[in-house]
Amino acid sequence: MPRAENDQTIITDRGEGGETQQRGGAPLTTNHGVPIPDNQNSLKAGARGPTLLEDFVLREKIFHFDHERIPERIVHARGTGAHGYFECTDPIPDLTIAQPFQEKGGKVPVFVRFSTVAGSKGSKDTPRDVRGFAVKFYTEDGNWDLVGNNIPVFFIQDAMKFPDLIHSVKPEADRGFPQAASAHDTFWDFVSLMPESIHMILWAMSDRAIPRSLRMMDGFGVHTFRLVNAKGKAVFVKFHWRAKLRCQSTTWDEAVKISGADPDYHRRDLWEAITAGDFPEWELGLQIFDEEFAASQPYDVLDATKIIPEEDVPLRVVGRLVLDRWVDNFFAETEQVAFLPSNVIPGIDFSEDPLLQGRLFSYLDTQKSRLGTTNFHQIPVNAPKCPMHNFQRDGLMQTLVPTGRANYEPNSLAEAGEDPGPRPAEHAFRTHPVATEGKLRARSETFADHYSQARLFYRSQTAPEQAHIVKAITFELSKVDLPHVRLRALASLRNVDEDMALAIADGVGVELPEALEPAKAPIDMPASDALSMHLTATQVPKGRTVGVLLTDGADGEALKKLRAAAKKAGVTVKLVAPKRGGVTLASGETVEVDGQLEGMPSVLFDAVAILAADASLDRVPAARDFVADAFAHLKAIVATKEAGGLLDAAGVEKDAFVFEAAKEPEAAVLRAHERLWDREQA
């Protein structure tokens, strides 16, 4: 008799087989649906006898466990993902037939995966690294994968160099370290020999590479693509994802300490935001330009180491991306999702960017290697949500069941009254024709200027941002043991900015070498405010988190005001205490806290409030660190009068971001999105 889907099994305290009491849940079965009465004990020849090979339940369970890991991604191994949708806000049917851009208010389901690049799957969330930003659109015309990063340029111009780049930044081959780090000999040896990398180096050494949150970083398609309209006319396009919360970073010391306190910091932050209904959001902005504009620029738009300044081609915002659902199973979705830059739809086409051209091959090859089959597109997270028809058949892990004789094309089976299968479509992807030259292995002379845009980026930063770049490169080169590599890197950096190179040389403790002779003399381009995180920062605290350190007897009114301000501003408040249990306020009310002091240091928050009722925290080392780190990381601090001794012990000096709880308890909320950069200079 068939089992009902809602059949509930109840196991009593202890049966003769040693079962433990469990209640509820669907009936347990093997992978083939055979009901299992006991999942605790293997089949034995007697209670103390040997296990029998006959036990197919045990063998299946162990066999599956032994094979439940698949090869991790060679790059972008550590990532996290979520479901959501893309909504068109400004249709552009005159520019493209791409389905997501045809109708205002039209929505397309998406899956988005964020990742670090260099580290392994088991590394941390907060290293200094590029972040992957990959979006899979499930459109009516098939899947479109926009696979980019949180930085708009890349290290190299041609895919031929990609294996070398990744080999250089991965743990060194003879020793297996450092993990998830570029501060070592082989990476800097490679990039110092590749002047085309210098622009990306400046971005990677900037605060963009240590984001505060995945919700607070932009994304870029990196390459130049084409939009194609119904008449076959094409224009160039660059894709930009602009975070609604705008970009914010951690400080370097903060990033290092976060990795110890919570190596899953970014993953947890994204999960908490989505589960709380505070859905992360980005605008999709397009830079659209034609062949004439491209030909008139002092750089090549097909060069992935170059940007187009937004002052020259402003962003046209055409839609928004919202993430509103966490995955049901991390492995099945986030680990098995396969992004392919070659997944484009009618209305989107490639450019001749040589780095992009290499990616079109590499990603497909990688997915077959990782997922073990050409049928990886049948995995639910990869499967299109529109009809799919072709004559591809069989293969490992085939789950579809095609019918009929037609498995080839052309065929004339329709004349015999049989299903002939699919036919070429009228509404279809069509490659835009481009004039080409003869075959040769060469690099275009238009790719030869390696320093102008690196100079543009550095000189577009504020003084604190420039100081952070200097400190980052100094730190990285201090980890390089080969003297000639340090000198060669400095020789290249002189072509970007003389003062920057001099400060780094001083920090490393070497004489500044002669500048490297550039292949093409750099030019000075007008500064771009759009390249500075500080100049484009948000003016509201929405999406940030405030940590409130409480003791027994704390002022409930101050906490109430702080929480009210947080609710109004869209800020999360987390309560911290010396012990995980509740805290009794001065009113006698007991409140539950979110974490214990040593387990929730201030590096996990954007601002802090110390609502101490007495001097009990003054001699607690974790409390001193809580306050000292918040001050060192330039955050707003609200404190009661009773916490004065703690602030003194932590070395806090009164400034514009230190507030009295009795007067301004809300200040921790209202300033949570800001850092006091003047404090850093002091």
445 pLDDT above the threshold of 70: yes
76 part of the active site: yes
- The CA distance from 336 to 552, in Å, is 48
Mean pLDDT of the chain: 94
Of 19-28, 363-372, 394-403, 640-649, the range with the highest mean pLDDT is 640-649
Please answer whether residues 557 and 482 qualify as being in contact, where contact means their C-beta atoms are separated by less than 8 angstroms. Answer: no
13 pLDDT above the threshold of 60: no
For the chain, residues classed under CATH 4.10.91.20 are: 1-68
- The CA distance from 496 to 450, in Å, is 9
17 pLDDT above the threshold of 50: no
149 part of the active site: yes
Lookup result for tokens 């293997």? 42
- CB proximity list for 142: less than 8 A, separation 6 or greater: 343, 345, 384, 386, 388
Mean pLDDT, residues 199-221 taken together: 98
Q: What is the CATH number of domain 545-681?
A: 3.40.50.880
- CB proximity list for 212: less than 8 A, separation 6 or greater: 248, 249, 250, 606
- The CA distance from 434 to 421, in Å, is 32
At residue 23, the pLDDT reads 64
At residue 441, the pLDDT reads 87
Tokens coding 167: 């080999």
At residue 10, the pLDDT reads 41
What is the amino acid identity at position 595? G
For the chain, residues classed under CATH 3.40.50.880 are: 545-681
- The CA distance from 450 to 473, in Å, is 18
pLDDT confidence band for 148 (50 / 70 / 90)? very high
For the chain, residues classed under CATH 2.40.180.10 are: 79-171+199-378
pTM of the model: 0.93
pLDDT tens column, 99-127: 999 999 999 999 999 999 999 999 999 99
pLDDT confidence band for 436 (50 / 70 / 90)? confident
- The CA distance from 261 to 182, in Å, is 22
pLDDT confidence band for 491 (50 / 70 / 90)? very high
At residue 22, the pLDDT reads 56
Ordered DSSP codes for 184-245 = SHHHHHHHHT-GGGHHHHHHHTSGGGSBS-GGG--EE--S-EEEE-TTS-EEEEEEEEEETT
Nearest to 380 by CA among 412, 335, 418: 335
CA 193 to each of CA 32, 189, 347: distance values in angstroms, whole numbers, following the listed order: 57, 6, 39
pLDDT tens column, 322-340: 999 999 999 999 999 999 9
At the topology level of CATH, where does 79-171+199-378 sit?
Answer: Catalase HpII,  Chain A, domain 1 (2.40.180)
Portion of the chain with pLDDT greater than 70, in percent: 97
Please answer whether residues 200 and 165 qualify as being in contact, where contact means their C-beta atoms are separated by less than 8 angstroms. Answer: no
Please answer whether residues 592 and 575 qualify as being in contact, where contact means their C-beta atoms are separated by less than 8 angstroms. Answer: yes
Portion of the chain with pLDDT greater than 90, in percent: 89
- The CA distance from 226 to 234, in Å, is 6
Please tell me whether residue 383 adopts helix, strand or coil conformation: coil
Which is higher by pLDDT, 641 or 19?
641
What is residue 124's DSSP assignment?
-
351 pLDDT above the threshold of 60: yes
At residue 25, the pLDDT reads 83
CA 44 to each of CA 52, 63, 166: distance values in angstroms, whole numbers, following the listed order: 5, 18, 51
Domain 1-68 has CATH 1.10.10.60: no
pLDDT tens column, 581-603: 889 999 999 999 999 999 999 99
Tokens coding 414: 């329709």
- Among candidate residues 149, 343, 375, 495, the one labeled active-site is 149
83 pLDDT above the threshold of 80: yes
At residue 259, the pLDDT reads 96
Mean pLDDT, residues 381-406 taken together: 92
Please report the sign of the dihedral spanned by the C-alpha atoms of residue 407, residue 412, residue 416, residue 419.
Answer: positive
- CB proximity list for 677: less than 8 A, separation 6 or greater: 462, 464, 534, 634
- The CA distance from 97 to 429, in Å, is 10
Per-residue burial over 310-319, b = 16 or more CB atoms within 10 Å of its CB, e = otherwise: beebebeebb
291 pLDDT above the threshold of 90: yes
464: cis peptide before it, omega within 30°?
no
20 pLDDT above the threshold of 80: no
CA 132 distance to own-chain centroid? 5
Nearest to 82 by CA among 120, 117, 111: 111
Please answer whether residues 658 and 637 qualify as being in contact, where contact means their C-beta atoms are separated by less than 8 angstroms. Answer: yes
Please answer whether residues 381 and 388 qualify as being in contact, where contact means their C-beta atoms are separated by less than 8 angstroms. Answer: no
At residue 521, the pLDDT reads 96
Mean pLDDT, residues 563-576 taken together: 97
pLDDT confidence band for 21 (50 / 70 / 90)? low
At residue 639, the pLDDT reads 97
- Among candidate residues 76, 184, 240, 633, the one labeled active-site is 76
Describe the crossing of helices 252-261 and 621-632 by its angle, rounded to 10 degrees.
140
Lowest mean pLDDT among 21-25, 219-223, 532-536: 21-25
Please answer whether residues 316 and 90 qualify as being in contact, where contact means their C-beta atoms are separated by less than 8 angstroms. Answer: yes
Please calculate the CA angle 565-594-573 and round it to the nearest 5 degrees: 15
Long-range contacts (CB closer than 8 Å, 24 or more residues apart) made by 657-664: 658/631, 661/555, 661/558, 661/609, 661/610, 661/611, 662/555, 662/558, 664/638
pLDDT confidence band for 437 (50 / 70 / 90)? confident
pLDDT tens column, 613-664: 999 999 999 999 999 999 999 999 999 999 999 999 999 999 999 999 999 9
Side-chain-side CA neighbours of 680 within 13 Å: the count stands at 16
